[in-house]
Structure 1
Amino acid sequence: MEMINRPINRHQAYHAHVYFDQDSLAFASELCHQAGEKFGLKVGRVHEKCVGPHTQWSCQIIFNHKAFDAFIPWLDEQRGELNVLVHALSGNAIDDHTNYAYWLGDPVELNMDAFLD
């Protein structure tokens, strides 16, 4: 059985990428909006296409280590069946999406070729 890396608050800044599909679009959009409102976080666009390394539709939430301890348990409780990638913002995109990648739900395959020049 594969070990899933659960989020740990050991970095200064993070992205959470909430993954969804056409059937869960409305739920995911509302979840991201609520996260922004409740925690005062910056929420990116709700992408109804694959963007960057993300192989599913997604919405990005930006937060820091100060918000982590309140936000991550809330997100995990509220996400329903959605899978969420939580990764550090270390300045190295490849490390962020591999070594510093954590999951709420099941891991989603990423397209790491998106980071190649």
Structure 2
Amino acid sequence: MSDSMTSRISYYHAHLYYTDEQGLAAARELADQAERQFPLRVGRFHEKQVGPHPLWSCQLSFAPEEFGRIVPWLALNRGSLDIFVQVGTGDDRFDHTQGVMWLGNSHTLNLAAFDND
């Protein structure tokens, strides 16, 4: 990928997915550990579906230059959580459909959330 392509990426989001109180506790613990180790921002812990995300989730936001440290760490420390990792280019539909990777199981996103964009 050319530098001009990667320069379009302003940030990354890693969405920790969970479905119940036990998963919520695991997501909180993983987010706390990540926040202690890396320069990232932990978002709210949602106990409902938000936007295109089909499960409860919490968003970790980090700079592109941290991808190579944070994503492998998440892959090795995610436990039973599924994690949706996406680029942030300013094009939400692209960011959630083309610029993605999954750690664990993949889930079908609610792309109708982008119909009003």
Scaled by the length of structure 2, the TM-score of the pair is: 0.87
Residue 48 of structure 1 aligns to which amino acid in structure 2?
E
Q: Distance in 2 between matches of 1:65 and 1:85?
A: 16
Which runs of structure 1 show a deviation greater than 3 angstroms over 4 or more consecutive aligned residues?
none
Q: Percent identity?
A: 44
Residue 54 of structure 1 aligns to which amino acid in structure 2?
H
Alignment match, 2:15: 17
Compute the displacement of 1:29 (Å): 1.0
Q: Which runs of 5+ in 2 are unaligned?
A: 1-5
Aligned Cα root-mean-square deviation (Å): 1.1
1:53-92 deviation digits (Å, cap 9, x = unpaired): 0110000000112111111111111101211110000110
Alignment match, 1:6: none
Matched, 1:114 2:99: no
Residue 112 of structure 1 aligns to which amino acid in structure 2?
L
Give the 3-state SS of the residue equivalent to 2:97 in structure 1.
coil
Map 1:1-117; keep pairs closer than 5 Å: 10=6, 11-22=9-20, 23-117=22-116
Compute the displacement of 1:40 (Å): 2.2
Structure with greater proportional helix content? 2
Task: Give the number of aligned pairs.
Answer: 108
Q: Distance in 2 between matches of 1:20 and 1:38?
A: 22
Scaled by the length of structure 1, the TM-score of the pair is: 0.87
Q: Distance in 2 between matches of 1:69 and 1:101?
A: 15
Q: Which runs of 5+ in 1 are unaligned?
A: 1-9
